[in-house]
Amino acid sequence: MKEIILLKDGEIALKGLNRSSFEDKLIKNAKRRIAPTGSYRCYKAQSTIYIEPRDEEADIDEAVARLQKVFGIAALCRACVVEKDFDLICSTALSYLDEQLREAATFKVKAKRSDKSFPYDSPKICSELGGVILDHYPHLKVDVNDPELIVTVEIREFGAYIHAKQLPGAGGMPVGTSGKAALLISGGIDSPVAGYMMAKRGLELIPIHFVSPPYTSDRAKLKVITLVHKMTAYCGRLPMYVVNLTRIQEAIKDCCPEDLFTVIMRRFMMMISERLALKEQCSALITGESLAQVASQTVHAIGCTDAASSLPVLRPLIGMDKEEIITISRKIDTFETSIEPYEDCCTVFTPKHPKTKPTLAMVTEAEAKIPGMEEMIAEAVESVEVILVTDKGAKGYIE
């Protein structure tokens, strides 16, 4: 019995003349993600992508679990492939779907006949196979409106495909089809979710994390590496930039009003991130800000930080409340790591009473009092640590 995986795309179907390039990228992403589970032949035909194991050693269960997290796949299913012979289709359906048919109370048969040379049309396939199933499973009842089980037969170019359970995919667009963007990632709940949401729209991510030793610990950095590692299940491998912000934060503390500390620090983060982003040919920055969640995320503060970068700043969480963000973080398995008690540099020198309505004029006036701004920015950019994080971990940090 030959078993394969069928992938159904969603939005890609609307891409017209560009569709093939999106499908090619999806296949490339899917092949890379399932490579650790075995050897597969991947190809497309008739609006479907086929994942065909090359040998019996392939772990199809694991491959399916990984493919459910690949952006661009709307749905997928495991299917049995047989020759286009109706008697063989019936006998295979009974054996391949036996467990599911025994457990269900109601069912219906759904048929698609792309190969018009097959002697039975779709209604005929449904009625005949439905009768065979009822003969073998008398406890079943037909329900065409809301069945527990849908037995699907697809008569395609390469054979007849039999399946019954369609699994949801991650949806969205294949990662890499919308370009690149730099993700400012902290150890909190929000920024991994923001990265996930923009990767779902096809952006390839370059995570940038800021550290402030000795005020922040190695455990805090390891926490963020773990978060990025979890994101690779959806985003693929991620080159993570680690930027030392200690000298800059100390200069801000010494030279600027306390109530402007956070917004000025974030402006430095934007300026540094922009330079690293351009180096990686990114077209935008991504942050996890949600409007009015904290003092540095008021509309006034956001306006001041945006002015520090010429790149567009994408904020997919801007209109979400905390519970909505937490729901997604649980879904992508980052929540428990995010709430670990290892603080990042955003909590260093936090003012007791931050200004919630800063103006760009007052912020730039305060910045002008910091000596050697350009030198410190250049030093931070030049001294970055780059860690390649894959689904296997990050060399030197995660085994």
Q: Do the two domains 2-168 and 180-394 of this chain adopt the same fold? A: no
Q: How far apart are CA 113 and CA 154, in angstroms?
A: 6
Q: Specify the CATH number for 2-168; select among 3.20.20.10, 3.30.2130.30, 3.40.50.12160, 3.40.50.720.
A: 3.30.2130.30
DSSP string, 288-317: ---TTSSGGGSHHHHHHHHTT-SS-EE-TT
Phi, psi of 88 (to 5 degrees): -70, -35
CB of 244 within 8 A of CB of 216?
no
What does the pLDDT read at residue 397? 52
Q: At 102, which helix (H) or strand (E)?
A: helix 98-103
Tens digits of pLDDT across the chain (399 residues): 789 999 988 888 778 788 889 999 999 999 999 999 999 999 888 778 999 999 888 999 999 999 999 999 999 999 999 999 999 999 999 999 999 999 999 999 999 998 999 999 999 999 999 999 999 999 999 999 999 999 999 998 889 999 998 899 999 999 999 999 999 999 999 999 999 999 999 999 999 999 999 998 899 999 999 999 999 999 999 999 999 999 999 999 999 998 999 999 999 999 999 999 999 999 999 999 999 888 778 999 999 999 999 999 999 999 999 999 999 999 999 999 999 987 777 777 788 788 889 999 999 999 999 999 999 999 999 999 999 999 887 664 543
CB of 151 within 8 A of CB of 133?
yes
* Torsion region of 172: left, alpha or beta (phi above 0 gives left; psi -120 to 50 gives alpha): left
What does the pLDDT read at residue 399? 37
CB of 351 within 8 A of CB of 261?
yes
What does the pLDDT read at residue 46? 72
Q: How far apart are CA 5 and CA 112, in angstroms?
A: 17
Residue 121: both structure tokens together: 């049309």
**Would you list the domain boundaries of the chain?**
2-168, 180-394
For the domain 180-394, what is the CATH code?
Answer: 3.40.50.620
